[in-house]
């Protein structure tokens, strides 16, 4: 695959609609794609939290579980 083609594909598949949301943890404004919201509601993941804080929480939860 040539990079030029991949770039083109990336542009095409890039989500057009992203919704600005405020993180209820740190107050940072981040953007979330609509399809992500749909996935979140499915998995029951809480929204209103930025990826940064989500990682923090994840790290917290994984602390007792030392895999990797």
Measured CA to CA, the distance from residue 25 to residue 2 in angstroms comes to: 42
Find the shortest distance in angstroms from Cβ 8 to Zn ion: 33
Is 50 a binder of Zn ion (CB under 5 A)? Answer: yes
Is 53 a binder of Zn ion (CB under 5 A)? Answer: yes
Residue of 21, 25, 33, 36 interacting with Zn ion (CB under 5 A): 25
The secondary structure element, H or E, covering residue 8 is: helix 3-13
Tell me the site size for Zn ion, rule CB under 5 A.
6
Give me the phi and psi of 48, to 5 degrees please.
85, 20
Find the shortest distance in angstroms from Cβ 2 to Zn ion: 38
Residues 6 or more apart whose Cβ sits within 8 Å of residue 60: none
Residues that bind Zn ion (CB under 5 A): 23, 25-26, 28, 50, 53
């Amino acid at each position: 695959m040539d990079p030029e083609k991949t770039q083109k594909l990336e542009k095409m598949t890039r989500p057009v609609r992203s919704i600005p949301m405020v993180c209820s943890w740190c107050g940072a404004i981040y953007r979330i794609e609509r399809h992500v919201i749909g996935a979140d509601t499915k998995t029951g993941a809480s929204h209103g939290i930025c990826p940064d804080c989500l990682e923090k929480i994840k790290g917290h939860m994984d602390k007792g579980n030392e895999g990797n």
